[in-house]
Homo-oligomer: A and B are copies of this chain.
């Protein structure tokens, strides 16, 4: 499990900074292409990934009747732990909404942090009314069965071109959503806040009129000035 300290630390590190740190650690594909916040003003959110997986619709499988099956999105939602970040692999499908207001309302009740998907939601007005924070690729009216078949949860998935394993950590903000592999969370949480401080100082220097070369990235002189500024 993710400690509340780790969550608090990561909530202060932007997805931009996290991708820069992971890139330096050798990972280039950690930001999901597609998911965007459906409302302005969400705080940055953090939680362990609870994965869900869809395959294409097939008329013998993807029926309104299938919604009552135990292997359904309903079953998955009832299995979500408090504090989880739901992540759904919809194969980038934008012609059928994976969830509407009813399922999102239930996710709020279960204490889910938010929902990330490379697909879309349906009844977006209703979804917004539930106040579940959602990062997705937009909205479509048709139900999921018009394009998708739900096949399981807590499996490895792809979402927005990124591999996500159950228990990896999701961080989402205005720039979208990133995954931190479980084994790298501690290191990101250690390096992140320092990187944020440094960049804030650089912005303040630029606002004073400093030129970029030597400042960003900082050369030795700039680093010394930064260190001095921190001691004040």
Residues of chain A touching chain B, judged by Cβ–Cβ distance below 8 Å, are: 14-16, 18-20, 23-24, 26-31, 33, 36, 55-62, 64, 67-68, 70, 74-75, 77-78, 91, 94-95, 97, 100-103, 105-106, 109, 122-126, 138-143, 145-146, 149, 151-152, 155-158, 161-164, 173-176, 178, 181, 183-184, 199, 202-203, 206-207, 209, 211-213, 216-217, 219
- Docked CA distance A15–B181 (Å): 32
Q: How far apart are A161's CB and chain B's nearest CB, in angstroms?
A: 5
Whose C-beta in chain B lies nearest to the C-beta of A69?
Answer: B213
Q: Could you write out 25 A-B pairs with CB less than 8 Å apart?
A: A14-B123, A14-B141, A15-B141, A16-B123, A16-B141, A24-B64, A26-B59, A26-B60, A27-B60, A28-B142, A28-B146, A30-B58, A33-B95, A56-B162, A56-B163, A62-B163, A64-B217, A67-B217, A70-B213, A78-B212, A91-B91, A102-B203, A125-B173, A139-B175, A140-B175
Sample of 4 further A-B pairs with CB below 8 A, known A20-B142, A67-B216, A105-B203? A31-B140, A61-B163, A68-B217, A124-B174
Interfacial chain B residues near A64, Cβ < 8 Å: 20, 23-24, 217
Contacts A142-B19, A199-B102 given: A125-B174 contact, CB under 8 Å?
yes
Would you call B29 and A102 a contact (CB within 8 A)?
A: no
Contact among B23, B61, B75, B151 with A146 in the assembled complex (CB-CB below 8 Å):
B23
| Copies per complex of this chain | 6
Contacts A15-B141, A18-B141, A141-B14 given: A158-B23 contact, CB under 8 Å?
no
Interfacial chain B residues near A100, Cβ < 8 Å: 16
Contact among B105, B176, B213 with A140 in the assembled complex (CB-CB below 8 Å):
B176
Q: How far apart are A108's CB and chain B's nearest CB, in angstroms?
A: 9
Interfacial chain B residues near A202, Cβ < 8 Å: 102
Task: Pick the most buried of A61, A91, A109, A206: most chain B CB atoms within 10 A of its CB.
Answer: A206
Would you call A16 and B161 a contact (CB within 8 A)?
A: no
Would you call A211 and B78 a contact (CB within 8 A)?
A: yes
In order of increasing CB-CB distance, the 7 nearest A-B pairs are A15-B141, A74-B212, A55-B158, A141-B175, A19-B142, A58-B163, A151-B156
